[in-house]
Structures are given as structure tokens and as C-alpha cells.
């Protein structure tokens, strides 16, 4: 969950990296260095073309009530997200230095793998090709994210439950069929705020779900345990939604 720092781009990347078994663990592979003082942790990040060790202590910024100010896990006994953000801030010089950025940059730093950023507003953008690529990337288990533009049109975004100049995680990519025979393309997306969701068609409370008759999970899916045609919806404002 994002705190009072503009690190949505980093946390959106962390969320999807953590879903791909082994990637997040690799970042913490050196966490407990033998002989290190109590409270000292070492995290490895991909910076300047190599894996770089970043050593931190376990002290975290809190408010007067003792609540964490910045990134935290929804599970209060888990601190790895907060510690990873602290290491990332140290690698960049300060917490302020990671207030604002691109998901592609964070994915590179967390995995060491090449990344790509695609602008849906580019005059060369091909929506058919983009959807085919999203499906293929999802089948390969590649971590993905998305984001909205800055100030321009942000009020219109707010009206439909989206945040302007904000990053989101992509959790799932699906084709679905409706009773009218229409094929619908749906993304499951997560807001790192842990709240505030899309409220249009296919949102949690949308009547569109009554028209759904079948779906194609399209390979690896966070909903793999669900029956064919099922879409996980919590029904509460937890920041996770279909669009």
C-alpha cells in the first residue's frame, strides 16, 4: 500500500514482481549477511548495468502515532515492502528522489531485465497489436504495469474512479464473451493506494457481469484456481478492479 510518498510507479512494479515467484526473493537474497550487525539488511538492485548491494538498517519513518509514513504491506507484520522501498530510496539518494517515476524504470531496477514503455497516445499505436502483445506477455508471466497521464483530463479520470498521473499494476489479461456474442477484452488492474477503483463498465458493481457467459484465461493467471468463466471480484474498495 502506497504511503504519503509519490512512489506509485515503484510499488506498482513491486506488486507484479512479487507475483512472479523468485523475483522478489532474489532482491532479498543477501538480506541476512553473516556477521552483520543486528538490524542491518542488504538488498540487491540492478543499477548502472550491474547488481548493486544496498545496505540499510531496519528503522522506518513513522508519524507521531507510530504508523508507517511510506510504503507498507496490508499485513501489518510484513515489513519487506517498507524495507525494499527504503533501500530503493537510498540507492537514489533520498525518499524525495523516488517521488515520481516510470514503472518501466522500477521493473528494470528490480529484475535486471530489459523493459519497454508503450504510449497509447502515439500516432503509431496499434490497439490490435497491443492486445495481442499483452496476451502473449501475460502467458509468459512477464510483470506489467500501466499508468494515466498527468494533469490534463485528470478531473474526467476522477469522475470514473481513476487517478491522474498515477501508476497501476496489471494483474490479469482476459478475453470474455457476453450473451450478445461480443468478445470483451478485460484487464485486472491494481491501484497501489489500496483503494479507489474504476467505476464504469466491468467495475466490481457493474451490471455488465450479468452478460458474461465465458472467458479465456489466456495462460498464466493470478486467478488460475477459479473455474473457467470466473473473474475474481472482492466487491470492496481495495484498489483492485477489472476494466
3-state secondary structure of 185: strand
Residue with grid cell 497489436, as numbered in its chain: 129
How many of the other CB atoms lie within 10 Å of CB of 88? 27
Q: Is the separation of the CB atoms in 139 and 218 below 8 Å? A: yes
For residues 141 and 62, what is the distance between their CA atoms, to the nearest angstrom?
A: 35
Residues catalogued as catalytic: 8, 166, 191
89: cell is 530510496
Which of 144, 163, 212, 206 lies closest to 184, judged by CA?
Answer: 212
Distance CA 51, CA 45 (A): 5
How far apart are the C-alpha atoms of 235 and 127, rounded to whole Å? 30
Helices (H), 96-184: 103-111, 127-139, 154-159
Neighbours of 71 (CB within 10 A): 25
Q: Pull the grid cell for residue 220.
A: 498464466
If we measure between CA atoms, which residue out of 4, 171, 188 comes closest to residue 85? Answer: 4
* CA nearest neighbour of 26 among 144, 141, 112, 116: 112
Amino acid at each position: 500500500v502506497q504511503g504519503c510518498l509519490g512512489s506509485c510507479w515503484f510499488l506498482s512494479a513491486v506488486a507484479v514482481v512479487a507475483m512472479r515467484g523468485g523475483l522478489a526473493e532474489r532482491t532479498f537474497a543477501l538480506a541476512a549477511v553473516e556477521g552483520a550487525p543486528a538490524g542491518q539488511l542488504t538488498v540487491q538492485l540492478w543499477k548502472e548495468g550491474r547488481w548493486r548491494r544496498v545496505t540499510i538498517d531496519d528503522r522506518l519513518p513513522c508519524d507521531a502515532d507510530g504508523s508507517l509514513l511510506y510504503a507498507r504491506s496490508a499485513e501489518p507484520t510484513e515489513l519487506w515492502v517498507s524495507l525494499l522501498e527504503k533501500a530503493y530510496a537510498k540507492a537514489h539518494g533520498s525518499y524525495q528522489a523516488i517521488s515520481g517515476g516510470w514503472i518501466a524504470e522500477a521493473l528494470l531496477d528490480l529484475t535486471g531485465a530489459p523493459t519497454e514503455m508503450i504510449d497509447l497516445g502515439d500516432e503509431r499505436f496499434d490497439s490490435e497489436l497491443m492486445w495481442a502483445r499483452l496476451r502473449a506477455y501475460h502467458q509468459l508471466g512477464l510483470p506489467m504495469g500501466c499508468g494515466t497521464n498527468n494533469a490534463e483530463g485528470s478531473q474526467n479520470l476522477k469522475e470514473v474512479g481513476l487517478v491522474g498521473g498515477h501508476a497501476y499494476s496489471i494483474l490479469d489479461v482476459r478475453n470474455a464473451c457476453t450473451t450478445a456474442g461480443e468478445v470483451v477484452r478485460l484487464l485486472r488492474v491494481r491501484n497501489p493506494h489500496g483503494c479507489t477503483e474504476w467505476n464504469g463498465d466491468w467495475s466490481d458493481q457493474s451490471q455488465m457481469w450479468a452478460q458474461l457467459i465465458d472467458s479465456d484465461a489466456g495462460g498464466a493467471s493470478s486467478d488460475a484456481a477459479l473455474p473457467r468463466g470466473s473473474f475474481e471480484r472482492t466487491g470492496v474498495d481495495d484498489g483492485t478492479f477489472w476494466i
